[in-house]
Amino acid sequence: MKEIVVISGKGGTGKTSIVASFAALANNAVLADCDVDAADLYLVLEPDIKQTHDFSGGKLASVITEKCIGCGRCEEVCNFDAAVFNGPPNDVVERTYTIDSIACEGCGLCVHYCPVDAIEFKDAVNGQWFISDTRFGPMVHARLGIAQENSGKLVSLIRKQSKQIAAEQNKDLIIVDGSPGIGCPVIASIVGADLVLAVTEPTISGQHDLDRVVELTKHFKIPTAVCVNKYDINVKITKAIEKKALERDLKVAGKITYDIAVTKAQIAARSIVEYSSNGLKDQIVSLWESVLDILKPS
């Protein structure tokens, strides 16, 4: 079983459109949307949800107002400015504390140090995750709650579930839609994967972000290939990206032209390879073939 993760340091490079096309081209794959912050893959794959589960990545503190004596110990120990002296009065004091659930990181210090045990510590529901069927096979995806934390843990959970499904259903490939950036959800998406495909665009920003992402995959020793999307927007920068990739021993798996059909396919809720039949489709098919080629055991 092989796992390929498509990421882009810079957002908006067409990563999800490429993943949707890969899903259409692969015939025995499990699909995983690990871009939990801005999960868009479902818009194209239109999953039929079979299972829904709550996701809890940590805990949250909350003050039991009746018990609070307003001593301020919680505010003193909280490093995240989450304990606020703005609660309603109770039988003992004029004002009580409350916990700002958006700021709370669930460290539990206030719970431990509160002298009257007035703070509860409960599992936080950070989001939901789903197992679905799509026209291209099973898909695991999620929705992170608004302003929630623990996206890294959710990503790890999705990957674990995808592997389990792949094992059960004898699928030999997992295609993962990763997230932008280089932070915890990205690290959680790529660690231990067989191949990372970094999608970039020929802009100075794209180049800069690719450098950082490639440094990250190198740091975690994950084989990496590059795809330049909209390469014709700036041919000079595309050349520079290719040259640098070569110097770093990275394969350029493919180049894709700028084409309005990418947006049109998105509006039609189709992958590019289903929607377009011209050169654009050929470019993506050849990208996919070279990805499979890189994945092959040598």
Partner 1 sequence: MPDNLVIAVASGKGGTGKTTIATNLAHYTARLGQKVQYLDCDVEEPNGHIFLKPKIDFSGAVTIDVPQVDLEKCTGCGKCGEICQYSAIICIKENVLTFEQLCHSCSGCWRICPADAIKPKPLNIGDIEFGKASGVDFVGGKLRIGYVRTPSLIKEVKKHIKEDHLAIIDVPPGTSCPVVEAVRGADFVLLITEPTPFGLNDLKLTVGLVREMNLPFAIIINRYGIGNNEVEKYCAAENIDIVLKLPDDRRIAEAYSSGRIIVDVLSEYLKQFSELYEYIKRIKVGINDKRRLRVRRKNKSGFRSSSSCTQDP
Q: Which is nearer to ligand SF4, 80 or 258 (CB)?
A: 80
Which segments of 135-212 are extended strands (E)?
Answer: 137-144, 173-177, 195-200
Hunting for tokens 């400015």 — which residue is that? 81
| 154: number of Cβ within 10 Å | 26
**DSSP of 139-150, one letter per residue?**
EEEEEEPTT---
The nearer residue to partner 1, 148 or 162, going by C-beta atoms, is 148
Is 109 near partner 1 (CB under 8 A)? yes
106 interacts with partner 1 by CB under 8 A: yes
61 binds, among ligand SF4, partner 1, none (CB under 5 to 8 A by kind): ligand SF4
Give the C-alpha distances (Å, rounded to integers) separating 72 from 11, 115, 245, 292: 42, 10, 56, 59
Interface pick for partner 1 out of 2, 56, 69, 105 (rule CB under 8 A): 105
CA 2 to chain centre: 19
Question: Is the separation of the CB atoms in 199 and 13 below 8 Å?
Answer: yes
Does residue 261 interact with partner 1 by CB under 8 A? Answer: no
Residues that bind partner 1 (CB under 8 A): 8-13, 16, 36-38, 40, 43, 58-59, 77-81, 84, 102-103, 105-109, 112, 144, 146-149, 151-152, 179-187, 201-206, 208-209, 212, 215-216, 219-220, 233-234, 237, 260, 263, 266-267, 269
Residues that bind ligand SF4 (CB under 6 A): 61, 77-78, 80, 82-83, 99, 104-110
